[in-house]
Structure 1
């Protein structure tokens, strides 16, 4: 027989779970049944974040357990109050925006933010491959909740067929922007030059899976439709300068204290700091000439 204190404790725990608004699972491999049981414990979730990788190298779990199961559809059905949904899959993709010609997001009437990857968003994930009945670009657009304010799709389509289909979805969505009155932002993980007059990266760094022409066409169409396209600045990694100082702050190869300067792009002070501290411009390390004298060191990061 359960005593009163245990019953009250159980009620308190249930109330706490019911009041939980956010659940985040990252790099966690959970079998579908266990995951869905967990989601049922949080009926009033507003935000659900799931990022997982599932590939053939996982010996502790069978991929067959995930086949014919649509994570996006089940999460939406069990948690209809979601406003923020992120589902990112690496390896086996067991989510799709469509389920038997019906939007997986149909139960979500207040969804404001959706983040996923291209195979999931275009119905080209592993769970769709065996059906041979892929949705059209219009099907995909129709599956997007009208309440959506921000759509984020990461990664790339990785082949011309999928790239062309992804573009068709983007263009159709922008053409029908009048249906999506609340849609304000698109984010495909694309980049822009922070310093356009400096040397550029390879084109693929700016728009993974898409061409330069695609990149500029999407930017132009977003402007015309009045939708903001997120283009995060792409800059090279910082350069580091290392040297050692002794207890008196003098630069010496045998010094016990290492000093590190971090110089960010466009590296305006890199040459000066190297020259002042006897460091090689190529490596950022002291010249191999032994002890360097006559310069005081800096004990803190630059």
Structure 2
């Protein structure tokens, strides 16, 4: 289900939506990756999540997502070790770049170009990442608004970090909060998960709006499926996985506010009105970012492959301002 939501197909090896957008639009910064993944701590038994959810698939690997650590240094070895200076590191990167360029002249492998770009990005991140995660320049009222304690790996801190990444030109930020698999103990754990996410999500939208960033930032909030409308009753009342009807919401980035699209039956079991497929979600997302999903492709195994695939996909025009 994760793979289907992120790549548009259940087949592994396909590019994630973040990689597609990084490929299509690039980033507005050379000092941070164009696609960053933030996984949050907190909740009930956080489910494992595979790196294929932010994979570049058959796209050049430089477009894949870069996962930041939840706690401690967001990127391993971001600080210079004893005896290494920025100058000596620059010399090392330059030497490696020359060797890789020499190798590339003989084999012309695009992955060599990716390797060169990765070394350069890693070098620049040794300066940009410490500045990014240093929250000392954030006013106390902003930290209070999010409920953030910098460095704790919480969803609240990651929402604030996501805003800082967006400010610095990162194109796609994928923020995960796990622990919603409430097959039992729903009354207790729903309060826990909502308590960890509700305030911070409101704060992110509010903060983006106050900084005049929301109109240029598309926010999509949802999961890979919904939950059944009836109790499962396993270890206390819970709900099972459900794919036949569930909700997501969007804000900013050209979205029309206050609009509801689609409806379920009287039991909340089946979507029965204006049913939306994941292809439609992806087509709408791309449209809001200025991309025509029908023309946005990459040649792979003789096919002009697209995020929205070969089956019909529709832009949800009712949601567009």
Larger Rg: 1
TM-score by length of 2: 0.24
Structure with bigger RCO (C-alpha 8 Å, 6+ apart)? 2
* Bigger proportion of residues as strand: 1
TM-score by length of 1: 0.26
